[in-house]
Each structure stands twice: as structure tokens, then as C-alpha cells.
Amino acid sequence: MKKEKVFLFLLIAAFATLTGLSQANKTTGKVKSLVITAEKSDQLIKKAFKESETYYDQAGNITEEITYKEGKIKKHFKYQYDSDNNKIKEEQLDASGRIIESSEYKFENGLRVEKIVYDAGKRIKSKKVYTYTMF
């Protein structure tokens, strides 16, 4: 029970650090990457696994996120941004780096107006149109 509490605390601390770093990077733009490694202990055996990797561009936008489960890639995403730092493309990749799914976003006046999701064969899976009512 005590080990579970310690692990939960470390997980929450890592999430808080990652969230805080993402916000801090928006203003400083100095962090290029972040790698989080988790260590699990069970009596005499200690195992360390890479938990996640996050990469940033000069503006502080996340350009790539990789999460791991026991050292193996669980989720892998790449992102692209326009000159206004709007996310315009998102790619989900498999463990070997092949695109599973991609999304493209369109913006007008700083507002997202469209999202199109493509499958691995670049066929449209879904499309969303955002309509805003302004005051």
C-alpha cells in the first residue's frame, strides 16, 4: 500500500512538472526536450523505464510527444503549427513511425473553423466544421 502511494505521488508530480514546464516553455522558449523516466522497485529488483518524451519548437509549442509503457511505445504524436502558433496538423504514429491517423486544422481570425481526420491511406475519416456566434 505504501509503495502504491509513493508511485501515485511520483506520477502526480511528473504530470505537474510536465504541465508546468509546458506553460513555462511558452514564455521562455528555451526547453528543447523533456524525458521522464520512472523507476519501479519490487523488493530486490529495480526497473527503470522511459515514461515519456516531449519535444518543443522555438516558440514553446509541443512538436512531438511519445509515451511509453514499460519501455515500449504506447502513443506517439507529432504536431505542426502555423506562424500564429495554431496547431494545424497532428499525426498519430505506430511504434515503427508509420502514420496511423492524421488531422488537419484550419483557422480564421484565430478561431478553429475546421478539422479533418484522415486514415493511414489519406482517406477522410471525419470532418468537423466549427461555427461561432459572436457578440
Residue 94 lies in a domain: yes
Query: pLDDT value at position 11?
Result: 42
Residue 48 lies in a domain: yes
- Residues of the domain holding 109: 2-129
Count of domains forming the chain: 1
Residue 61 lies in a domain: yes
| Mean pLDDT estimate for the chain | 83
Residue 134 lies in a domain: no
Q: Which three cell numbers stand for residue 10?
A: 511520483
Query: pLDDT value at position 28?
Result: 55
HSE on the CB side for 20, CA within 13 Å?
6
Query: pLDDT value at position 47?
Result: 81
Query: pLDDT value at position 26?
Result: 52
Residue 17 lies in a domain: yes
Q: Do residues 102 and 90 touch, judged by C-beta distance below 8 A?
A: yes
For residue 18, the 8-state DSSP code is H
Check pLDDT > 80 for residue 23.
no
Residue 135 lies in a domain: no
Write the CB contacts of 12 (distance below 8 Å, at least 6 apart in sequence).
Answer: none
Distance from the Cα of residue 19 to its chain's centroid: 11
